[in-house]
Amino acid sequence: MDMIALKHALAAMALFVAGAAAAETGRLTVELNKVEEMDSGDCRAFFLFRNDTGMSFEGFEMSLAILDSNGVIDRLLSVDAAPLPVARTTLKLFEIPGMQCSRISEILLHELTSCKPQNADEMDCFAILTLTSRASAQLVK
């Protein structure tokens, strides 16, 4: 086997192994389920976390950029959603102080500041993350 054929074979094998690992890991879905105005005038966001990864997470923190109705970043919001048990859907509520829900056009996942499986090292969860929204505001990465 010549060197070029060997490189192609190794590249194909690496893609296969990466695909198999991703399939074994499953998905972690974060859904912005709804937003509601509070009596204070602040916005409350309801998030569902569907953990189909095959592992529990003892750390899961997100930095979210809240964009106003003009698409301009209004603020950054740090949220801690841990723990996220394996094979469960978890509901978490977060308040967005000083902002009415009707003024939010989009919530951008700016950064995952922590994604730590139980009894394991921090990992990059962007590859297993799916974002969805049922609310008027979109949730995007």
- Which tens digit of pLDDT belongs to each residue from 95-136? 999 999 999 999 999 999 999 999 999 999 999 999 999 999
Confidence (pLDDT) at 47? 98
55-83 residue pLDDT tens:
999 999 999 999 999 999 999 999 999 99
Tokens of 87: 């094979």
State the pTM of this model: 0.80
Q: Which domains does the chain have, with CATH numbers?
A: 27-140 (2.60.40)
